Amino acid sequence: MKSALFTGAAVTLGLILATVGSAQASPVPESSTASHQPTAQARQHGIDRAGDAYMGWTQNTTTTAAPAVMAPTASVEGIDVSSHQGNVNWASYWSAGKRFAYVKATEGNYYTNPYFAQQYNGSYNVGMIRGAYHFATPNDSSGANQANYFLAHGGGWSRDGKTLPGALDIEYNPYGATCYGLSASAMVSWIRDFANTYKAATGRDVPIYTNLDWWSRCTGNSTAFNSTNPLWVAKYASSPGTLPGGWPFHTIWQYSSSPIDQDRFNGDMSRLQALANG
């Protein structure tokens, strides 16, 4: 009996120590349970569970109208999609003049888009230049961890002339605190960790999708990436407006979500092909 009691006490002590050790672990863990509950605002935008987040999910609180100005001569039209679009009729978008597409591949380190293959390969098969994007949840795991998860689930790159570098979607948190509980300096470090990991694996600098308000609030309007990473700016208005982070120009502009997320590449087709080729 004494031996059994001693064993039970030892097990209890071990569990307590394990719990203490877990509590003292890094504030950005290497694994996530993905037990997120979307906020009321996120639910209004169709985000019902962890994994449902998509590019610009809050942007349509302003307007979904197309730009009032005509597209510049040097531009290419495109779209971005996620699981919300399901199986996409790519031929119809090609006929409508869309020549590139970005497809959500992953979120955090717990979700992969179940429609990714149809969307990623389908856009390629009709002739579009396509790429994958990752919806970041910086409170879940490190930037390196999520970059590797993205790379392992469709976020890679090859110099085939038809594949754009993987993009990092870093924006409002649909599951809680706007800045994911990170300070501005910690957020910049997280983004750098993701970007450096992705570049080490592919040789490419990830385009960063964001908007002026979030970037200003959550990174302190950091200028750390404006000379290396292409800017994909979200602004549903007649022009991209003031750019975040001291970027001298935008590479892609997401300007509407009607009837689907609409994007415009800032350059002609030869420049888009150059971005694909690296």
Structure confidence by residue, pLDDT tens digits, 65-109: 444 444 556 899 999 999 999 999 999 999 999 999 999 999 999
| Residue 60 domain flag | no
DSSP assignment of 80-93, as one string? EE-GGG-S--HHHH
| Residue 90 domain flag | yes
Provide the token pair at 163: 């594949």
- Known catalytic residues? 80, 169, 171
Number of domains within the chain: 1
pLDDT band at 45 (very low <50, low <70, confident <90, very high): confident
**Containing domain of residue 260, as a range?**
78-277
Asked if 172 and 139 count as a contact pair (C-beta separation under 8 A), the reply is no
| Residue 28 domain flag | no
| Residue 138 domain flag | yes
| Residue 152 domain flag | yes
> What is the C-alpha to C-alpha distance for residues 10 and 16, in angstroms, rounded to an integer?
10
> What is the C-alpha to C-alpha distance for residues 54 and 46, in angstroms, rounded to an integer?
10
| Residue 238 domain flag | yes
| Residue 69 domain flag | no
Q: Residue 234 forms beta bridges with which residues?
A: 254
The enclosing domain of 163 has a CATH number of 3.20.20.80
Provide the token pair at 213: 């308000």
| Residue 202 domain flag | yes
Residue where the block lists tokens 């569990």: 15
pTM of the model: 0.82
pLDDT digits (tens, 9 = 90+) for 110-160: 999 999 999 999 999 999 999 999 999 999 999 999 999 999 999 999 999
Provide the token pair at 137: 């949840």
Rounded to an integer, the average pLDDT of 44-73 is 63
Range in 25-29, 57-61, 116-120, 201-205 with the lowest mean pLDDT = 25-29
> What is the C-alpha to C-alpha distance for residues 120 and 99, in angstroms, rounded to an integer?
13
